[in-house]
């Protein structure tokens, strides 16, 4: 485990934070392989190798898992059914704006809740004690200004 994660786990445990044993995991690109693009949010791909086993192991170990998706809430039940089918885990679709999540069921949500850590294929780690914004922005694989140009925004 990284030094950063150990420090964070220790801090949350000492504070008795409800998020100390919760992981928030991005669905697309981390659990679900969108091997043919977005397709209006359809859930159609296979699991990312290793994802199902890790979800099952974490739940068996008493962790709470929130799976986040940018999909509209109307499609969250599709994500839940996919998780139940592929992982055999019970799910619950977020109907409230949970600040924290606990329990053996996997929460499907598009709300950011408290967690020990977030696992996301598009994330860049921000550390105010290690370079802050300049380091985080330098880790982008492209310049934000270039993206605006590519996207055609004025
Ligand atoms: Mg993703």
Task: Check pLDDT > 90 for residue 54.
Answer: yes
Band the pLDDT of 62: cuts 50, 70, 90. Answer: very high
Task: Check pLDDT > 70 for residue 1.
Answer: no
| pTM, rounded to two decimals | 0.88
Burial, 136: exposed, middle or buried (Cβ in 10 Å; 0-12, 13-18, 19+)? middle
Q: Are residues 134 and 119 in the same domain?
A: no
Q: Are residues 20 and 58 in the same domain?
A: yes
Structure tokens at 17: 């934070």
Q: Ligand 1 centre from 26 Cα, in Å?
A: 5
Number of domains in the chain: 2
CA distance 46 to 60: 22
Q: Ligand 1 centre from 16 Cα, in Å?
A: 30
Q: Are residues 38 and 104 in the same domain?
A: yes
Q: Are residues 93 and 116 in the same domain?
A: yes
- For the chain, count helices (H), then strands (E): 5, 5
What pLDDT was estimated at residue 153?
53
Q: Are residues 150 and 77 in the same domain?
A: no
Please give the residue range of the domain that contains residue 148: 126-154
Tokens 């392989």 sit on residue: 33
Q: Ligand 1 centre from 108 Cα, in Å?
A: 14
Q: Ligand 1 centre from 45 Cα, in Å?
A: 13
Q: Ligand 1 centre from 124 Cα, in Å?
A: 12
Q: Are residues 54 and 76 in the same domain?
A: yes
Q: Ligand 1 centre from 31 Cα, in Å?
A: 9
Task: Check pLDDT > 70 for residue 144.
Answer: no
Q: Ligand 1 centre from 28 Cα, in Å?
A: 4
CATH number, domain at 52?
A: 3.40.50.1000
Q: Ligand 1 centre from 14 Cα, in Å?
A: 31
Q: Are residues 109 and 153 in the same domain?
A: no
Q: Ligand 1 centre from 88 Cα, in Å?
A: 22
Percent of the chain scoring above 70 in pLDDT: 94
Q: Ligand 1 centre from 37 Cα, in Å?
A: 11
């Amino acid at each position: 485990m990284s030094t950063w994660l150990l420090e964070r786990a220790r801090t949350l445990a000492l504070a008795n934070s409800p998020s100390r044993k919760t992981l928030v995991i991005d669905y697309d690109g981390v659990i679900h392989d969108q091997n043919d693009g977005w397709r209006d949010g359809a859930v159609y791909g296979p699991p990312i190798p290793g994802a199902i086993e890790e979800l099952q192991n974490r739940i068996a170990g008493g962790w709470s898992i929130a799976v986040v998706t940018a999909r509209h809430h109307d499609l969250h039940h599709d994500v839940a059914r996919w998780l139940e089918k592929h992982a055999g885990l019970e799910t619950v679709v977020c109907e409230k704006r949970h600040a924290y999540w606990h329990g053996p069921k996997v929460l499907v949500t598009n709300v950011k809740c408290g967690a020990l850590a977030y696992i996301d294929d598009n994330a860049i780690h921000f550390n105010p004690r290690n370079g802050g914004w300049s380091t985080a922005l330098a880790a982008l694989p492209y310049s934000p200004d270039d993206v605006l140009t590519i996207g055609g925004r004025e």
